[in-house]
Amino acid sequence: MTPYYPADYFPSYEIVMDELRDYRFYAEDMCHPSSQTVGYIRDRFLDWALPSSEKSLLEENIRAFKASAHRKPLYTRFL
């Protein structure tokens, strides 16, 4: 007898196929999901997988990452 390994499953495919059936949720090739769809699925996944106590830490890390990617102009003296 094979052992039972519990696993969680997030139904991203089913969400896209059942809830997001409209053409606006697909990229121009009408085959791949649009960036709007990816964002929606990401938000649903985070709501499902991330404890509410961790959401503020995630937002803080996202802000820090965006700030670190921001570059100062090379010629700030002339701006």
pLDDT of residue 75: 64
- The answer to whether residues 12 and 41 touch, using CB atoms and an 8 Å cutoff, is yes
**pLDDT (tens digit per residue) in 46-78:** 999 999 899 999 999 989 888 887 776 666 655
Confidence of residue 79 (pLDDT cuts 50, 70, 90): low
Residue 66 confidence (pLDDT): 87
Q: Mind listing the pLDDT tens digit for each residue in 17-42?
A: 999 988 999 999 999 999 999 999 99
Place of tokens 């121009």: 28
